[in-house]
Amino acid sequence: MSNRRLEELNSIIDSDSFWKENDNPQMIMRERSNIEETIQNCLLLEKSLKDSTLMIELAEKEKDQTVINEETENLNLILQKAKISSLEAMLSGEADKNSTYLEIHPGAGGTESQDWAEMLLRMYIRWGENKGYSIDLVEKNPGEEAGLKSATIKINGNNAYGWLKTESGIHRLVRISPFDSQKRRHTSFASVWVYPVVDDNIEIDLKESDCRIDTFRSSGAGGQHVNTTDSAVRITHLPSKIAVQCQAERSQHKNKATAWSMLKARLYEIELQKKEEISQEQLDSRSEIGWGHQIRSYVLQPYQLVKDLRTEVEDTNPQNVLNGDLDSFLGAALSKKILD
């Protein structure tokens, strides 16, 4: 199927009229690149499998247990890569191949929830770095004592949105609070919202007259690097009440451009959800950061367990998960979404 589609695309691109007759040549070029990458990955996995199998056969004849153990480990790695590749091959949604924005907000609870929000930010940054993605900090609003009041990052790379699109929802933490002198157990909540980066080829019905644009000074830790001008930008889309903000750059113009891109992405993500027939009730539930809307629990006390409440996938090593080891949860959620 992929080879046939690749032949079709090569034929289209090689034609003399390709750049004149196609409204979106970049999208066609990107599709070809994605298919070529998928095929190349499959060929590499196939070659690795043959090489490891041959080495094991030779080692068994020589009774070399060291080589057998090494190649058995390689086979396990090949299996893991094959599972990831099979999931990526199913990322066929309209925006699955795109880069993504990821937004985090703490729930009620002050410093506790704000610290939890910062832990989640670190977790997703670690995950992205482990995947080889580049990470841009778009906006970060620090808490008064610790943690953060809000943060938005942009994760750049192929399939970033496809991998993370099931992470939108409420994340719950149970632990002995480091901010409680009596060392009591606390439950904290934070919301995560993932939406795809959209390019200029996707039309979004967005009028500037429907938006309110505010500028303010970027917040920071203080000292000589505090921005002394109103360079940070917040744009509020009045019909939907969606608000986005950017303070990553010293230039107000650059922050405004990024904020417009984020707003378009948010509106586009809502349209994608409508296409998937997600009810308005589910969309509205994101605003309530608390019980009843959780997708995952991270329990550090009195026992160690991370559990996804949608797929029942569990991990008894929360520190690994908080260090970015999310693939088992992401894979299960994607498989469930595809099967559903």
Domain count, the chain: 2
Statement to judge: residues 82 and 131 lie in one domain: no
Q: Which of 48, 68, 89 is the last residue of a domain?
A: 89
Q: Which of 62, 89, 116 is the last residue of a domain?
A: 89
Question: For each of the chain's 340 residues, which pLDDT tens digit applies?
Answer: 456 766 776 777 777 666 766 666 666 776 777 777 778 888 888 899 999 999 999 999 989 999 999 999 999 888 877 877 777 776 767 788 889 999 999 998 789 999 999 999 999 999 999 999 999 999 999 988 889 999 999 999 988 999 999 999 999 999 998 888 788 888 999 999 999 998 665 667 788 889 999 998 776 544 444 445 678 899 999 998 899 999 888 888 889 999 988 998 888 888 777 766 544 454 455 555 555 568 999 999 999 999 999 999 999 999 999 999 999 999 889 888 766 6
* Distance (Å) of CA 199 to CA 99, 112, 120, 313: 10, 37, 27, 34
Nearest to 238, CA basis, from 275, 213, 270: 213
Statement to judge: residues 24 and 122 lie in one domain: no
Residue 241: what are its φ and ψ, rounded to 5°?
A: 65, 20
Statement to judge: residues 50 and 168 lie in one domain: no
Give this prediction's pTM. 0.72
Please return the burial class of 95, using the count of CB atoms within 10 Å of its CB with bins 0-12, 13-18 and 19+.
buried
Strand bridging mode 148-156 / 100-106: antiparallel
**Residue 203 belongs to what domain range?**
100-339
Q: Does residue 187 form part of some domain?
A: yes
Q: Does residue 95 form part of some domain?
A: no
Q: Does residue 94 form part of some domain?
A: no
DSSP designation for 165 = G
Look up the CATH number of the domain holding residue 250.
Answer: 3.30.70.1660
The three-state secondary structure class of 314 is: strand
Q: Is the peptide bond before 302 cis (omega within 30 degrees of 0)?
A: yes
Statement to judge: residues 63 and 185 lie in one domain: no
